[in-house]
Amino acid sequence: MTERREPVEPVEPVEPAKTPDEQGVFDTGSIVAALGGPRGLLETTIPGVVFAVVFAFTNPAYYLALWSAVATAVLILVVALVQRRSVQQTLSGFLGIALTAGIVIITGRPRYFFLLGLWRNAFWLAGHTISLLVRWPLIALFLGPFTGEGVQWRKDPARLRAYLWCTVVWILVFGIRLGVQFELFSDDKVVALGFAQVILGIPLFLAACGATYLILRRVPIRLKSVAKDSDDEPHPPPISPG
């Protein structure tokens, strides 16, 4: 007596997950979102503009301008809490304003309100420059998790080269900001410093994101098998505290 066998249904091949680039959703807007979006930059810029505008009418007195900027930062934080959205960037911006306000009160120099911005630009300028020299571009580490490629760009010379060119773009951004603002800071041009934050803030940020997208779109992502490369996959160098 022959054994009756049930017909075996063909198994549909499972397609690998597509990267955002392959799905057609990786564009300038997605890069802006991956890097934190313009909201955080705007929220840290507004108090500085308020300080500069009020100081233009009260110069050389600065207390009214200072407390107006602090009140604006508090208002921005309250709005973020009421809207129940992530307040990480907003809170860091508020703490930065509080710190610079304390520096101004201690030193009695209104221009020191913009000192933290100078240090921030210098920090990112140095960070991107070092990452370019060691061929571990920061922009690739920021975007890698979003694109799904992790650090596999290290094994793709064309993709690595593209990220290095993107790093040059961001070095120019932070270099321009630092150069212009340091000149105004040295000349004690407080009002101009406030408006320079606007001109060199979001417009320059969006332009850099657009340039980053145009560079990366020319080199498609080539993901490799995780099982094949798990043992020899390069990892970013550890970051020591402090």
For 50, residues 6+ apart whose C-beta sits below 8 A from its C-beta are 65, 68, 69, 72
DSSP 233: -
Q: Does residue 24 carry a pLDDT above 50?
A: no
**Helix residue spans in 187-236 (DSSP H):** 190-199, 202-216, 226-229
Q: Tokens in use for 54?
A: 């009020």
Residue 38 lies in a domain: yes
| Residues 41 and 240: beta-carbon distance below 8 Å | no
- The answer to the question of residue 18 being in a domain is no
- pLDDT, tens digit (0-9, with 9 covering 90-100), for 67-92: 999 999 999 888 888 888 777 778 88
* pLDDT (mean) for 134-153: 90
Q: Is the pLDDT of residue 184 over 80?
A: yes
Given this model, what pLDDT does residue 4 score? 56
Q: CA triplet 185, 36, 167: central angle to 5 degrees? A: 70
Domain count, the chain: 1
Residue 167 falls within a domain, yes or no? yes
Residue 20 in any domain: the answer is no
- Arithmetic mean of pLDDT, 186-205: 89
- 238, part of any domain: no
The reply to whether 232 falls in a domain is no
* pLDDT bucket at 3, cuts 50 / 70 / 90: low
Measured distance CA(242)–CA(234) in Å, rounded = 24
pLDDT value at 229 more than 60: no
Residue 228 located in a structural domain: no
Position with higher pLDDT, 131 vs 25: 131
16 located within any domain: no
Which domain range does residue 191 map to?
Answer: 34-221
pLDDT of residue 127: 96
The CA-atom distances, in angstroms, between 195 and each of 108, 202, 228 are 21, 12, 53
Bigger pLDDT: 235 vs 115: 115
pLDDT grade for 237, boundaries at 50, 70 and 90: very low
Q: Which range among 6-10, 33-37, 62-66, 146-150 has the greatest average pLDDT?
A: 62-66
